[in-house]
Amino acid sequence: MECLINGVYEITELISKEKEKNNE
């Protein structure tokens, strides 16, 4: 179960970084 939560967290981080790139 922890692995699933960690995976979702990593994906959320990647999405946040992509949004920051698009905002520049």
How far apart are the C-alpha atoms of 10 and 14, rounded to whole Å? 6
pLDDT at 11 over 80: yes
pTM value is 0.55
pLDDT of residue 5: 92
Query: Given this model, what pLDDT does residue 24 score?
Result: 78
pLDDT at residue 1 is higher than 80: no
pLDDT at 3: 86
CA angle 18, 20, 24 (to 5 degrees): 120
